[in-house]
């Protein structure tokens, strides 16, 4: 029996992945002094969506050969490592981009927010699990006005190990006082889907334009119900719940 719904944030409730990819494009343009955004950065970011800030910035830095440039910028940003300078530049650009709550509202996934409301109507508890920083998460939650639909919010500051480690999902189940098998998770990244499955939870995978190729490449569609069109999410989630309940009853 499903007693809890757990949502990822970036790419599931709001299309912040698109905005973060753009911020990386603009950051690399600034670092290299080119005359247009460098879309190689956004593509590199898409390869590791769902990973920690350090893993993401390291990957973009190494993929684009930015370490030398970033070492020169470390003093300016008070960075201890080259990747940290990239993170600082990307955050400055991203923070300015989403300072207007309307930008976030314009980029929300309305069908997934509807699932949040459906969970409440079903009497289920809900949680948000994300590797974003708490201040960023609070800004998104307030902008979308969904705080009243969430029983718990877990962020990067609440865990020691990021996705694909299952820690954040196991902690969410503990906070919600439910068993992992009683949780239905909506995730969009390979790392997030893997983390939820390792936690022993039921997963619905959101194959967004940023994560679709990676989800299929990893064969995760065989183990998680996958949604390719946002408008299908309510129907597939309902079918997933019926399927879970049927399995439990032995039908």
Residue range 60-88: mean pLDDT, rounded:
97
Q: Are strands 152-154 and 183-187 parallel, antiparallel or unpaired?
A: unpaired
Q: Same domain for 96 and 11? A: no
Q: Same domain for 144 and 40? A: no
CB 8 within 8 A of CB 129: yes
**Domain count across the chain:** 2
Q: What is the pLDDT of residues 164-199, one digit of tens each?
A: 999 999 999 999 999 999 999 999 888 999 999 999
For residue 237, what pLDDT is reported? 87
Residue ending a domain, among 71, 100, 129, is 100
Domain housing 139: 4-15+103-249
Query: Is pLDDT above 80 for 139?
Result: yes
Q: Same domain for 123 and 46? A: no
Q: Same domain for 134 and 10? A: yes
Note the pTM of the prediction, 2 decimals.
Answer: 0.82
For residue 224, what pLDDT is reported? 64
Cα–Cα distance between 81 and 31 in angstroms, integer?
Answer: 15
Residue ending a domain, among 100, 128, 158, is 100
Token pair listed for 248: 């439990």
Residue ending a domain, among 83, 100, 117, is 100
CB 14 within 8 A of CB 128: no
CATH number of residue 235's parent domain: 3.40.50.1000
Query: Is pLDDT above 70 for 209?
Result: yes
Q: Same domain for 114 and 236? A: yes
CB 183 within 8 A of CB 4: yes
């Amino acid at each position: 029996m499903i007693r809890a719904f757990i949502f990822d944030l970036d790419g599931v409730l709001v299309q912040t992945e698109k905005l973060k990819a753009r911020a990386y494009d603009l950051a690399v343009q600034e670092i290299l002094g080119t005359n247009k955004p460098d879309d190689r950065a956004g593509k590199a970011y898409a390869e590791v969506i769902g990973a920690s800030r350090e893993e993401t910035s390291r990957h973009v830095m190494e993929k684009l050969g930015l370490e030398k440039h970033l070492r020169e910028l470390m003093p300016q940003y008070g960075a201890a490592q080259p990747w940290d300078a990239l993170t600082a530049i990307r955050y400055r650009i991203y923070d300015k981009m989403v300072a207007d709550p309307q930008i976030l509202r314009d980029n929300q996934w309305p069908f997934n927010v509807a699932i949040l409301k459906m969970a409440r109507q079903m009497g289920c508890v809900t949680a948000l699990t994300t590797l974003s920083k708490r201040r960023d998460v609070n800004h998104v939650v307030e902008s979308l006005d969904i705080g009243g639909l969430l029983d718990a919010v877990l962020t990067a500051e609440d865990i020691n190990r990021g996705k694909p480690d299952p820690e954040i999902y196991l902690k969410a189940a503990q906070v919600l006082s439910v068993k992992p098998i009683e949780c239905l998770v909506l995730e969009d990244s390979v790392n997030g889907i893997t983390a939820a499955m390792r936690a022993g939870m039921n997963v619905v995978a959101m194959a967004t334009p940023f994560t679709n190729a990676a989800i299929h490449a990893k064969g995760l569609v065989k183990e998680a119900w996958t949604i390719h069109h946002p408008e299908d999410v309510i129907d597939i989630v309902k079918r997933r719940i019926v399927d879970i309940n049927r399995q439990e009853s032995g039908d």
